[in-house]
Amino acid sequence: MGKRLVLVGGGHAHMVTLANLSSFVKKGHEVTVVQPSAFHYYSGMGPGMLGGFYRPDDIRFATRHVVEKQGGRFVLGKVVRIDGVQKNVVLEDGSTIPYDVLSCNAGSYVPQASVKGCGEGIFAVKPIERLMEAQAHLLDLAGRGKFSVSVIGGGPSAVEVAGNVWRLLRDHGRHLADIRIFAGRKLMARFPESIRRKALRSLQNRGIEILEQGYVKEVETGRVTLESGEQFAADFIFLSIGVKPSAIFQESGLPIGPDGGLLVNRYLQSTGFSEIFGGGDCIYFQEQPLDKVGVYAVRENPVLFHNLMASLEGGELQPFSPGGDYLLIFNLGDGTGILRKRWLELDGRLAFRIKDYIDRKFMKKFQALE
């Protein structure tokens, strides 16, 4: 008799499983995929979509279509809690979905504790779908005259967003905004000084201001306040302050890591419930902390697929190895990028062309399923 497999989210770590959904169905298993959108957007290409280099169709995967085409069931909804004892996932509307095996690729979110008031004119870099709304809002403001954009954060996301806001306004022939990055104490602080200098040079050459004089305490519509009390006017605010794992697991009382992510062992399996698995930004890998980068989700793909099938069929689980160093390429928004892997560093147009090639190849591979 077949069992019930439930996937929470259709993100990067579930791509191979989604591509092979029919193999579960053929073995008599019932597969349900739950996601708040019919599409999954590739975050690595999000800034490029904001800047107008990509269309929304270029960076999204038609999850619902692929699931239903292979005989699975797609549920449009948001999971808010997991009952590990009763083996149910609880949706925002109060409904429940039972499972025998569960896999979570619920992603991450941008904390918004610093946001006060209604939040009008304030956008987080996730979910990626909101970047389309942000783009329309930016162009509307630009059509009215000069305005200011504040990007909160000092990491690669802030650099990419600021650079692509510049590109969007330039390409549409609109009034160029005053763009300011609130980078805390130091822009790109986690990276070598050579990488930091490359990012600074690119942004400053385009008139983008970088503030490294303290952290942001509070943001509200029209204003940014630093911990020092200094205030800055802002017509548009982007939150790019780093991501945290989905809050589902903490709300569910499941074992979690220090960052709130689902605590998993070397089989990507919950340390508290053997029938729960996970991958991507929403997990905390017990063997070693992993950076919140898409490369790990991609590497987890085949292991998750194997272990979900093994768990349903009574097979042997396969351990996940994070692998060695990984390639990082940042999209600076002006047709150039910064590439880094081990000792190799490269900036300029070639770096962006490499990123564009890799990203498009990844998307085409899975969009072909549609």
Q: Are residues 56 and 101 in the same domain?
A: yes
Per-residue pLDDT averaged across 5-19, rounded?
Answer: 94
- Tokens in use for 270? 């919950």
DSSP state of 225: E
- Per-residue DSSP letters for 192-209? -HHHHHHHHHHHHHTT-E
Among 234, 217, 216, which Cα is nearest to 138's?
Answer: 234
Backbone φ and ψ of 11, nearest 5°? -80, -165
pTM: 0.92
- Please give the helix or strand (H or E) that residue 20 lies within, else none: none
Q: Are residues 228 and 265 in the same domain?
A: no
305 near 283, Cβ under 8 Å? no
Q: Are residues 216 and 128 in the same domain?
A: yes
Domain with 305 in it: 4-109+243-326
280 near 290, Cβ under 8 Å? no
In angstroms, the Cα distances linking 127 to 81, 196, 250, 368 are 19, 26, 20, 24
Q: Are residues 308 and 339 in the same domain?
A: no
Per-residue pLDDT averaged across 160-181, rounded?
Answer: 91
Q: Are residues 127 and 226 in the same domain?
A: yes
Report the alpha-carbon distance of residue 151 to residue 242 in Å, rounded. 12
82 near 276, Cβ under 8 Å? yes
Residue 83: strand pairing partners: 88
In angstroms, the Cα distances linking 162 to 154, 206, 325, 364 are 11, 10, 27, 27
Q: Are residues 162 and 19 in the same domain?
A: no
CB proximity list for 119: less than 8 A, separation 6 or greater: 112, 221
In angstroms, the Cα distances linking 287 to 263, 282, 297 are 10, 15, 16
Give pLDDT tens digits for 71-114: 999 999 999 999 999 999 999 999 999 999 999 999 888 877 67
Q: What is the pLDDT of residue 221?
A: 93
Report the alpha-carbon distance of residue 267 to residue 306 in Å, rounded. 10
Q: Are residues 226 and 255 in the same domain?
A: no
169, pLDDT greater than 90: yes
Q: What is the pLDDT of residue 162?
A: 97
Among 317, 340, 312, which Cα is nearest to 6's?
Answer: 312
Q: Are residues 278 and 358 in the same domain?
A: no
370, pLDDT greater than 80: no
> What CATH number has the domain bearing residue 182?
3.50.50.60
Report the alpha-carbon distance of residue 185 to residue 7 in Å, rounded. 40
Q: Quick check: bond before 302 cis, omega within 30? A: no
Q: Are residues 120 and 87 in the same domain?
A: no
Q: How many domains does the chain have?
A: 3
Confidence of residue 293 (pLDDT cuts 50, 70, 90): confident
Q: What is the pLDDT of residue 244?
A: 87
∠ at Cα 260 (255, 264), nearest 5°?
Answer: 45
Q: Are residues 126 and 217 in the same domain?
A: yes
- Exposure string (b/e) for 79-91, b if CB count within 10 Å is 16 or more? bbbbebeebbbbb
Q: What is the pLDDT of residue 367?
A: 87
